[in-house]
Amino acid sequence: MPIIKLDAIDSTNDYLKQLAKENWLENFTAVMAFEQTKGKGQMGSEWISEPGKNLTISVLVKDVPLEMISIYDFNVAVALAAVGLLNLNNIVRVNVKWPNDIMADNKKVGGILIENTFKSDGTFTAVVGFGLNLNQTDFEHLPQANSLTNITHQIYDLEEMAEGFVKSLKLHLILFPEHVDEAWLRYNDILFKKGKPAAFELSNGHRFMGIIQTVTREGKLALLLNDDSIAYYDLKEVKLLY
């Protein structure tokens, strides 16, 4: 479970993908950077992190068999691995803001970006990027963001948290095929804003109110609308506003 440590890099996901193209890498090889200059978030957004204060890590997960775990199962396992890491560090009020933001005390502390490569043998290889606000205290221009140190008043060791995430990820992926139903129940139980009226925005800019009911096993968000109908959206169609 080697972890490659870099002082600075544009994107740990991009670096790990290129490294895997050029070299044979052990499964769960990880790259962490103390500064990431062009970190990527979901749907092409930028992940902004204060240098040396937060965890930015990417993990290579090789040859995942689709008959055992679908890409939607995989996403759930990764999200629960991130939540599990926070729970182990005494952060208990943790939620997942669909699809891949990690919330603590109703503010964003982390984000996940998974990039998959599908193979003809029925497997896929994933690069799992995870950013977690650890020791940063100033979020003046990011009012919806927070860090673990602001919540617990503790200082976190970046390398220890990196190792903890890789271990949590490996454990959740090993256990997932035997505990699929329980994992999905857990994921849906901790959805941010579930059961509460919330604002959403479609890809065309139209905004509307809805109530999150569940995320389906096909990865779609089920929303209760004002006319009491249920609508289903994938991550490219709608986003949950804060």
| Spatial distance between the Cα atoms of 133 and 30, rounded to a whole number of angstroms | 18
Q: Based on C-alpha coordinates, what's the Rg of the chain? A: 18
Q: What are phi and psi of 129, to 5 degrees?
A: -95, 135
Which residue ranges form the domains of the chain, and what is each CATH number? 3-189 (3.30.930.10), 197-240 (2.30.30.100)
Taking residues 149-155, report their average pLDDT: 96
Of the pLDDT bands very low, low, confident and very high (cuts 50, 70, 90), residue 83 is very high
pLDDT at 39: 53
pLDDT at 112: 97
Instruction: Note if the pTM is more than 0.75.
Output: yes
Percent of the chain with pLDDT over 90: 86
C-alpha 167, offset from chain centre: 15
Of the pLDDT bands very low, low, confident and very high (cuts 50, 70, 90), residue 1 is low
79: nearest Cα among 59, 98, 55: 98
| Spatial distance between the Cα atoms of 146 and 153, rounded to a whole number of angstroms | 12
110 close to 85: Cβ distance less than 8 angstroms: no
Taking residues 225-239, report their average pLDDT: 95
pLDDT in tens, 28-51: 999 999 988 765 554 445 555 678
| Spatial distance between the Cα atoms of 173 and 163, rounded to a whole number of angstroms | 16
